[in-house]
Amino acid sequence: MRTRPEAIGAPTDRELRDLMESTPPSGPTRSVKLLAAVATFGSLLFGYDTGVIAGALPYMYMPRVAGGLGINEFEEGLVGGVLAIGAALGAIIGGRFSDRRGRRQGILLLALIFIVGTIGCTLAPNIHLLLVFRFVLGIAVGGASATVPIYLSESAPTRMRGGLVALDQFMIVAGQFLAYSMNAALSHAHGGPRVLVSADPSGTLAVGQWYSWDEASRVATAVVTDGDGAAWRWMLVLATIPAILLWIGMRLMPESGRWYASKERYYEAIGALKRIRDARVDDVAAEVRDMIAVRAAETSQGHWSLRRTVSVRWTRRLLLIGIGLACFDQLTGINTAMYYLPKILAAAGFSSADSITLNVITGLVACVGAAFGLYLVSRLARRHVGIYQESGVTLSLFALALTFGLGIAPYTLADGTISDSIPSYLPWLVVVLVSLFVFAKQSGTVNWVLVSEIFPARIRGVAQGFAVGCGWIMNAIVTWLFPIMIAHLGATWTYVAFGVINVVSLCFYLFIVPETRGVSLEQFERSFSSRHGA
C-alpha cells in the first residue's frame, strides 16, 4: 500500500480504499471559494494592468519636464501592444511551467513577476525602459490568464466549476474597474492632463507656465503645481498591493489535486483534495478513481507533446477550438474599449479629463455585467452564453458604427475635433452604446471557462498556454491597429469591421464549439475523443 507522500504509481481499488482512509488532508482545510478568491488576485492584476493604461496614456503624452514621457501616437500603440506580446510569451511559458512544476508554483512565480514589472514600469525614466518592463509585466499577465483558470477548473468540484472559473473573468473586469476608478481619482487630484503653453499670441498667458486645458471650452486655467504629469506613476504602482497579497495568499493554498494525479502522485492528490472538499457532498474517491482511469489511458499512449497533439485528430480539433475561443475573445473589440475609451470619447466630443472620468462608468457596467455572467454560466449551457454574448456584441458594434457615421461624422471638423454645434445627446449616446457593448461582452464571457475545460489533462497546461498565447498575439494586433484604424478609416468603418468579424464568431459558437456543462473534465475527455476519433 502506498502511504508515503513520495509514492508514485496507480493504486489498485483496494489500495485506493486504504489510501482514502489513511491519508489526512495535506494541510489546514480551505474552502473552494476562499481558494478561488485568493487565486483570482492574479486575474485582478491582469485586469488592473491592462485597464490602467487607458488613464495613464494622456499623462505620458506630456513632456518629461512635466512628469510625462513625451510619447507620440506610434509609441502609444507600443505601450499597449508590447504588454500583449509579453502576455503571449507568458501564456505559453506559463502553461509549460505549470505542467512541469505545478499550478500553485506557477502562480507564486507570477506574483513575483507582477511585483518586479510593476515597480519597473513605475520608475521607468524613459519610454524605452517603460516598454521593457511593460513586456515583463505582460509575461505575468499572460501567465495568469493561462494558469489561474486551470488551477480553478482543476480544484473545483463539477457542481461549482463553471461559476468559479467565471469568477476569474469577473475579477479581471473588477481589476479594470479598480484601475479606472484610481485613474479618475488621481486625474481629479492632479487636475487632469496638462499642456505647456510655449507661446501665447494674446499675451494673456505666461510663457512657460503650466495650465489645465479644457478642450470643450478652449479655456486654459493657471496651475500652481508643476510635475502633475507624474500622476501616471501613481496609477501604475498601486498594482503592487494585490501582487503582494497574491503571493502571500497562494502560499496558504494547496496544489491542484489533478496536477498531482497527472504525475501519478495519488497520495498527495488525495491529501490536496481533502483540504478543499466537503465530505458531506463531494466524493473524493470517485474523483480520484476518474483521474486514475484517465491517467492509465494516457500512460498507455505514451508521452504527449504539442506536436503530437496536432497530429491526433480529436486533440487537434480541441486545440483549434481553443485557439478560436481565445482569438475571437480579442476580436470582439472589447480591449479597444478597455485601453482606448478616453480616445473614443474624445472623438465623440468629450474633453480628455471628462473621458477619463467617464471610463469609470463603463468599468462599473463591466463589473455588473460580469456579475450577471456568473449567474448565466451557472444556469445556462456554455454555448448558449457564448451565443448571447456574440449577438449582443455584434448589435452594439453596428449601432456604434451607425452613430459615428450618421450622427457624429457631420460635426467632425477637418482637424479631427468636434464642432461646438454637435447635439449634446450624441456624445452621451456613444457612452450608452459602449456601455451596452461592454455589458453584453462581460456578461457573456464564457471563453475562459471553455478553454480551461476542453483540454485533456496530459496537455492541459501546454495546450491552454498555446491557445491563450495565440489570443494575446491577436490582442497585440488589435491594440496596435485600433489607433491606426480610427485615424485612417474613422470610427464608423472601424466598428463595421469589428461587427463583421463578430458575425463570424457567432457562427463559430453556433456550429463548432462543444458543450462542457454538467460533466467532469475526465468525462468530457472520454466523450469527445470517442466522437471525433484518433
Q: Name the band, by pLDDT with cuts 50, 70 and 90, for residue 422.
A: confident
In this predicted structure, which of 92-106, 128-142, 192-206 has the lowest mean pLDDT?
A: 192-206
Same domain as 156, residue 214: no
pLDDT, the chain, mean = 81
Mean pLDDT value of segment 30-55: 87
Residue 471 confidence (pLDDT)? 87
pLDDT at 6: 46
Is 243's pLDDT higher than 70? yes
First to last CA, the chain: 36
pLDDT at 244: 94
Tell me whether residue 1 is in a domain. no
| C-alpha cell belonging to residue 316 | 487537434
Could you tell me which residues come within 8 angstroms of residue 130 by beta carbon, excluding any fewer than 6 positions away?
69, 79, 121, 124
Q: What would the mean pLDDT of 93-114 be, rounded to a whole number?
A: 90
On whether residue 147 sits in a domain, the answer given is yes
In the predicted model, is pLDDT for residue 390 greater than 90? yes
pLDDT at 197: 43
Dihedrals φ, ψ of 194, to 5°?
-110, 155
Per-residue confidence (pLDDT) for residue 59, from 0 to 100: 79
Does residue 260 carry a pLDDT above 80? yes
199 lies in which domain range? 193-224
Task: Say whether pLDDT at 217 is over 70.
Answer: no
Q: What is the pLDDT of residue 183?
A: 83
Q: Is the pLDDT of residue 3 over 80?
A: no
Please check the confidence at residue 496 and state whether its pLDDT lies above 80. Answer: yes
Do 206 and 308 lie in a common domain? Answer: no
Pick from 224, 244, 269: which residue ends a domain? 224
Q: Which helix (H) or strand (E) holds 136?
A: helix 127-155
**Are 150 and 38 found together in one domain?**
yes
Percent of the chain with pLDDT over 90: 22
Which tens digits make up the pLDDT trace of 472-484? 888 888 877 887 7
Co-location of 332 and 244 in the same domain: yes
Nearest-CA neighbor of 111 among 241, 246, 254?
Answer: 246
461, 105 contact by CB (below 8 A):
no
| Same domain for 401 and 282 | yes
What is the three-class DSSP state of 350?
A: coil
**pLDDT on residue 385:** 92
| Residue 4 confidence (pLDDT) | 47
pLDDT mean over 486-496: 84
More confident residue, 371 or 353: 371
Domain match, 386 and 365 both:
yes
Judged against a pLDDT cut of 50, whether residue 362 lies above it is answered with yes
Segment 313-323 mean pLDDT? 90
Give the CATH number for residue 73: 1.20.1250.20
In total, how many domains does the chain have?
2
Q: Report which of residues 399 and 489 the model is more confident about.
A: 399
- Least Cα distance to 467 among 449, 486, 451 occurs for 451
- Residue 519, sorted as left (phi over 0), alpha (psi -120 to 50) or beta, turns out to be beta
**pLDDT at 348 exceeding the cut of 70:** no
Compare 318 and 418 and report the one with higher pLDDT.
Answer: 318
Domain termination site, one of 204, 224, 244: 224
- pLDDT tens-digit readout, 280-314: 777 888 888 888 887 776 666 655 666 777 778 88
Q: Is 226 exposed, middle or buried (0-12, 13-18, 19+ CB in 10 A)?
A: middle
All three cell numbers of 39, joined, read 487565486
Residues 482 and 353 in one domain: yes
Please say which residue of 180, 201, 224 terminates a domain.
224
Per-residue pLDDT, 205: 45
Q: Are residues 458 and 513 in the same domain?
A: yes
- Asked if residue 8 belongs to a domain, the reply is no
Asked if residue 453 has pLDDT above 70, the reply is yes
Q: Is residue 483 part of a domain?
A: yes
Handedness of CA 35, 117, 323, 306 (dihedral sign): negative
Judge whether 459 lies within some domain: yes
- Measured CA to CA, the distance from residue 3 to residue 9 in angstroms comes to 12
Query: 316 lies in a domain?
Result: yes
The string of pLDDT tens digits covering residues 117-159 is 999 999 998 899 999 999 999 999 888 888 888 898 888 887 7
Co-location of 165 and 108 in the same domain: yes
Q: Comparing 456 with 247, which gets the higher pLDDT?
A: 247
266 and 161 part of one domain: yes
Q: What is the mean pLDDT of residues 404-415?
A: 79
Q: Does residue 3 lie within any of the structural domains? A: no
Q: pLDDT tens digits for 158-198?
A: 778 777 777 887 888 889 889 888 888 887 776 665 544 44
Residue 339 shares a structural domain with residue 351: yes
Shared domain check, 207 and 307: no
171 falls within a domain: yes
Whether 215 shows a pLDDT value over 60: the answer reads no
Q: Does the pLDDT value for residue 210 go beyond 60? A: no
